[in-house]
């Protein structure tokens, strides 16, 4: 398919907010793609070049793109008029989107080359691989050349892909629905989603289906180096509800840390990736050439951030290959006490990793094993998986097999909860000892119960920041005086407002919030955000920043699009380990409201 035609599909997607229309547009696109270009088209439409866990990025900021545009459009006429820079800045200020700026500057360009999707994809991939001395100049030249070769609509969307600002309003679930439509059997969406949950590479799955139909994905299985979507916890209204949901209870401490999925495979040689170079600062001279990687719950590779876990894995894992699920948490070297999440998350960095590891050492509490020596274990009951886990983790100081309580009585569960509370932990997670691991699911086979003040909401809410308001009075110095948050409607795949927040932030928090929002600010309301005009912020942001919010109560709201509002909301913490679609859902808030009324 010619990229110019592909760009028309992207434009149609941009112009609708209706999920059914998006699904139909994607279905038509998939129908008209060749097998060889299907994965590339799906990646590009999603705004990236490969599965998110591969970590391929352009690392091109707006400032560099403006420099690229100056080079691209430096025609003799523009040079003569000496107004190109001002023209770019004026257009950018008006639209807030450099893709639109490129579209306006291109005008009616009839000299464009008729490139295919595969040709454009190859050029973009080549750009991401440029590094070393002079890399910025070479990248500028390559991007400029590509934009010159394209007609306006194609250049607009390619610019957004490079900047990471594609916001077409659909998720992988929409693509899955489109693939089922393409197969003319909507019920197959569940089969496709099940494969995606254990192998979350939607481009790979789409290409398999395009080539061989539903048979093409039957051989897709769990493998090391490909993260599995994490199972998530459901909420309960009170501890007394837990025994009603789970008879044979398996209780574990809930740490205020960061979810880490560890992949280890002695039979797989590593690729030449930055993420596995210089990992072993804690063990100088000790180098390995087999696969050891870690991932977050949102599929981001974090191997380089936890050198002590990687080093410990070589000593403590007694197996050829495993996939482990657990929680990483920082601790105080002097007291041994666990650190709060906001300190633990400071380990999420690109530079000075060895120094951070010394200042904030980590322990990795493993609570599940999903894969062992080439075979998936997720279908086995939790009790059996844990018996296997204890045999393959050897004693050590970094990797610990999480302790647990197995019980059928409420009294023992309450006692265990009080123990968690006395240790200063977040609470407990209770699981069904007989159930399989449900990748990507949020079901009542896992429930959480936190140590929140019983007079307030029994649990916090993970919200997505949708924009902010300019500061007034004492907050004018921060440039921000409040922000708008929403929750996720997973049925419509949209974000709905639930609260304006202006409390619970320190001066440092206000500065951080402003900086993080300014990095993702956009000109207009995104198509996947539902918002009453009364709450229109001064600055819109891309719905990607997740924050944990506490409140006294949930109430019915006729003005917030969620239908609910938070009373006395306050910021508890930034959740940089979560992506927007992992925020609290509308269905969960509805349940919290009903439970609270009870």
Give dist(CA 451, CA 554) in Å, integer: 18
Cα separations (Å) of 443 from 235, 258, 379, 530? 9, 20, 15, 27
- Residue of 67, 208, 210, 254 marked active site: 254
573 is catalytic: no
Whose tokens are 């993970």? That residue is: 462
- Contact (Cβ atoms closer than 8 angstroms) between residue 369 and residue 385: yes
Give dist(CA 444, CA 87) in Å, integer: 56
CB contact set of 592 (below 8 Å; sequence gap of 6+): 235, 237, 457, 458, 459, 461, 554
Whose tokens are 């197996």? That residue is: 319
Give dist(CA 570, CA 476) in Å, integer: 19
- Contact (Cβ atoms closer than 8 angstroms) between residue 504 and residue 492: no
Long-range contacts formed by 576-580: CB under 8 A, 24+ apart: 576/345, 576/348, 576/546, 577/258, 577/259, 577/296, 577/297, 577/298, 577/345, 577/348, 578/297, 578/298, 578/462, 578/546, 579/298, 579/544, 579/546, 580/464, 580/488, 580/495, 580/543, 580/544, 580/545, 580/546
Give dist(CA 596, CA 598) in Å, integer: 5
DSSP 8-class letter at 559:
S
Tokens of 355: 């120094």
Tokens of 494: 């949209």
- Contact (Cβ atoms closer than 8 angstroms) between residue 368 and residue 376: no
Q: Is 503 exposed, middle or buried (0-12, 13-18, 19+ CB in 10 A)?
A: exposed
How, if at all, do strands 404-407 and 249-254 pair? antiparallel
Q: Is 107 exposed, middle or buried (0-12, 13-18, 19+ CB in 10 A)?
A: exposed
DSSP 8-class letter at 206:
H
- Contact (Cβ atoms closer than 8 angstroms) between residue 46 and residue 56: no
- Contact (Cβ atoms closer than 8 angstroms) between residue 138 and residue 96: no
- Contact (Cβ atoms closer than 8 angstroms) between residue 169 and residue 17: yes
Give dist(CA 497, CA 140) in Å, integer: 39
- Contact (Cβ atoms closer than 8 angstroms) between residue 175 and residue 209: no
Give dist(CA 306, CA 293) in Å, integer: 10
Cα separations (Å) of 413 from 22, 232, 242, 382, 445? 47, 20, 9, 18, 16
Task: List the catalytic residues.
Answer: 254
């Amino acid at each position: 398919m010619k990229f110019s035609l592909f760009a028309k599909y992207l434009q149609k997607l941009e112009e609708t907010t209706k999920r059914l229309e998006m699904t139909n547009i994607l279905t038509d696109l998939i129908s008209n793609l060749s097998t060889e270009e299907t994965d590339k088209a799906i990646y590009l439409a999603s705004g990236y070049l490969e599965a998110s866990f591969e970590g391929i990025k352009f690392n091109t900021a707006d400032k560099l793109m403006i420099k690229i545009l100056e080079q691209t459009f430096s025609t003799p006429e523009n040079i003569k008029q000496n107004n190109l820079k001002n023209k770019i800045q004026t257009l950018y200020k008006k639209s807030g989107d450099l893709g639109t700026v490129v579209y306006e500057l291109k005008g009616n360009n009839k000299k464009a080359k008729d490139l295919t999707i595969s040709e454009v994809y190859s050029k973009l991939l080549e750009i991401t691989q440029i590094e070393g001395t002079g890399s910025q100049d070479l990248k500028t030249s390559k991007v400029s050349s590509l934009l010159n070769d394209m007609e306006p609509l194609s250049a607009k969307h390619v610019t957004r892909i490079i900047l990471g600002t594609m916001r077409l309003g659909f998720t992988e679930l929409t693509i899955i629905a489109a693939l089922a439509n393409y197969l003319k059997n909507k019920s197959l969406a569940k089969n496709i989603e099940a494969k995606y949950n254990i192998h979350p590479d939607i481009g790979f799955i789409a290409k398999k289906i395009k080539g061989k139909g539903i048979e093409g994905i039957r051989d897709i299985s769990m493998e090391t180096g490909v993260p599995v979507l994490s199972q998530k916890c459901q909420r309960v209204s009170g501890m007394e509800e837990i025994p009603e949901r789970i008879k044979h209870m398996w209780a574990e401490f809930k740490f205020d840390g960061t979810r880490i999925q560890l992949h280890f495979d002695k039979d797989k040689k590593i690729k030449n990736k930055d993420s596995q170079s210089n990992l072993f600062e804690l063990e100088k001279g000790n180098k390995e050439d087999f696969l050891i990687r870690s991932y977050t719950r949102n599929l981001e590779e974090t191997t380089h951030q936890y050198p002590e876990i990687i080093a410990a894995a070589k000593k403590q894992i007694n197996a050829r290959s495993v996939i482990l699920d657990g929680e990483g948490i920082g601790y105080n070297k002097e007291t041994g006490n666990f650190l709060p999440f906001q300190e633990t998350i400071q380990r999420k960095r690109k530079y000075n990793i060895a120094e951070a590891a010394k200042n904030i050492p980590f322990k990795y509490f493993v609570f599940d094993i999903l894969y062992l020596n080439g075979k998936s274990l997720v279908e086995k009951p939790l009790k059996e998986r844990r018996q296997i886990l204890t045999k393959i983790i050897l004693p050590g100081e970094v990797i610990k097999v999480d302790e647990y309580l197995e019980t059928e009585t409420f009294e023992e569960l309450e006692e265990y909860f009080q123990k968690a509370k006395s240790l200063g932990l977040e609470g407990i997670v209770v699981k069904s000892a007989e159930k399989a691991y449900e990748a990507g699911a949020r079901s009542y086979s896992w429930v959480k119960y936190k140590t929140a003040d019983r007079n307030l909401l029994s649990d916090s809410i993970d919200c997505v920041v949708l924009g902010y308001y300019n500061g007034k009075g004492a907050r004018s110095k921060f440039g921000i005086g409040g922000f708008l948050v929403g929750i996720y409607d997973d049925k419509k795949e949209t974000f709905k407002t639930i609260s304006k927040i202006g409390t619970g932030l320190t001066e440092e928090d206000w500065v951080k919030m402003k900086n993080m929002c300014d990095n993702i600010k956009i000109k207009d309301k995104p198509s996947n955000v539902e918002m009453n005009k009364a709450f229109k912020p001064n600055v819109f942001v891309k719905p990607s920043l997740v924050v944990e919010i506490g409140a006294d109560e949930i109430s019915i709201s006729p003005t917030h699009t969620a239908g609910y509002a938070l009373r006395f909301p306050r910021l508890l913490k930034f959740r940089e380990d979560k992506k927007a679609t992992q925020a609290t859902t509308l269905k969960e808030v509805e349940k919290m409201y009903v439970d609270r009324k009870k």
